[in-house]
């Protein structure tokens, strides 16, 4: 599944970059996070409640900042496991000066879901994933405003 979009915020690129590359800050935009453990500046883990349809539970997620070009680009990879399922996610943020000031944020996310969660059907998975993506991006926009 692939999702992408963009938005503008009044914050300067450096502030946006610092937010999306700081494990303690960026994890605040994910819904239902129960705990976060920072291993080092590029590696961290979290536990989050997830669910769709009749499949609900907790996933353990390992995240890694894999590419950073301050202050214009960041890429994050994640692998979540739990509930007899796994989720692989790669997301990126490209930051540009916005016309009139602030930052234009282009984001993209690619997800692969396997196991029990994948068995519920592509329409249901896509709807649930789209809901999570909208929550995460909405939360990011709000935190940066």
Q: Please provide the DSSP assignment of 1-53 as one string.
A: -EEEEEEEESS-HHHHHHHHH-HHHHGGGSTTEEEEEEEETTEEEEEEEEEET
* Residue range of the domain that includes 115: 2-144
Overall number of domains in the chain: 1
Of the candidates 76, 104, 108, 90, the one whose C-alpha atom is nearest the C-alpha of residue 4 is 108
* CATH label of the domain that carries residue 123: 3.30.530.20
- Which range (3-17, 23-37, 107-121) has the least confidence? 107-121
- What does the pLDDT look like over 100-144, one tens digit per residue? 899 999 999 999 988 888 777 677 788 888 888 889 999 999 999
- What does the pLDDT look like over 35-82, one tens digit per residue? 999 999 999 999 999 877 677 899 999 999 999 999 999 999 999 999
Does this model's pTM top 0.85? yes
Question: Which three-class secondary structure state does DSSP give residue 94?
Answer: strand
């Amino acid at each position: 599944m692939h999702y992408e979009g963009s938005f503008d915020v009044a914050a300067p690129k450096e502030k946006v970059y610092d937010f999306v590359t700081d494990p303690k800050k960026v994890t605040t935009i994910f819904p239902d996070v129960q705990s976060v453990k920072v291993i080092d500046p590029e590696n961290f883990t979290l536990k989050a409640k997830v669910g769709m349809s009749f499949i609900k539970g907790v996933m353990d997620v390992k995240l890694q900042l894999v590419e950073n070009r301050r202050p214009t680009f960041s890429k994050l990879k994640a692998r979540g496991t739990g509930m007899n399922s796994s989720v692989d996610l790669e997301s990126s943020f490209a930051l540009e000066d916005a016309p009139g000031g602030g930052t234009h944020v282009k984001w993209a996310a690619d997800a692969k879901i396997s196991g029990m969660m994948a068995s519920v059907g592509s329409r249901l998975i896509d709807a649930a994933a789209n809901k999570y993506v909208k929550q995460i991006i909405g939360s990011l926009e709000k935190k940066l405003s």
